[in-house]
Amino acid sequence: MNPRVEKALNDQIQKEASSSQYYLAMASWSEANGLGGTAKFMYAHSDEERFHMLKLIKFVNERGGRAEISEISIPPKEFNDLKNVFESLLAHEIRVTESINNLVDICLQEKDYTTHNFVQWYVSEQLEEEALARTMLDKLRLIGDNQGGMYLFDRDLENASQEKSPPTQQTGN
């Protein structure tokens, strides 16, 4: 496997693992603050990020590279409020998108079209995740300080988590 591509993929593995921890921190904060629906949504999202990480690990190893499991950054413990949680989520996803775009760029520079094809799945995923975070933030801005609105928001997230199918164990391309 091209060493530059391998290094970029390993960096991405670390980022997906950090994302999973980040969402876990958000889930725990939400749960401790009585936001059961949001907690459920964040726990499910944390699992999804772990799935993103596993998919990369399998890909690197199956292509003759060596996936590295490195240490991950410590996520924040506290958030000001629910809006702050989703603002952090969006900011985080924007950083992940930049990282995926950088990965695409490296694949093209190194003419690694197989990895380029594989990474397209992540490009689409980032589009969806950023759009979802923006929708949530729009809703929270509309709700403002309205407690009833906040209750409904949290309940809607609980239902959304139930509708969403869990990530599959399939980690191939």
Residues that bind ligand OFO (CB under 6 A): 16, 19, 49, 52, 93, 96, 122, 125, 129
Residue whose CB is less far from ligand OFO, 150 or 161 = 161
Q: Which is nearer to ligand OFO, 18 or 30 (CB)?
A: 18
Q: What are 170's two structure tokens?
A: 């399939």
User: Is the Cβ of residue 42 or residue 82 nearer to ligand OFO in the bound state?
Assistant: 42
Q: How far apart are CA 77 and CA 29, in angstroms?
A: 7
Task: Say if CB 12 and CB 55 are below 8 A apart.
Answer: no
Distance of closest approach, residue 55 Cβ to ligand OFO, in angstroms: 9
Is-contact 8 118, C-beta < 8 A?
no
CB of 122 to ligand OFO, least distance (A): 5
Minimum Å gap between C-beta 75 and ligand OFO is 13
Q: How far is the CB of 50 from ligand OFO (least distance, A)?
A: 9
Closer to ligand OFO at the Cβ: 6 or 49? 49
The amino acid at residue 31 is E
CB of 111 to ligand OFO, least distance (A): 24
- Of 67 and 96, nearer to ligand OFO (C-beta) is 96
Tokens of 124: 């689409």
Yes or no: say if 23 and 38 are a contact pair by the CB < 8 Å rule: no
Whole-angstrom distance, CA of residue 150 vs CA of residue 4:
46
Q: How far apart are CA 122 and CA 46, in angstroms?
A: 16
**Residue 33 one-letter amino acid:** N
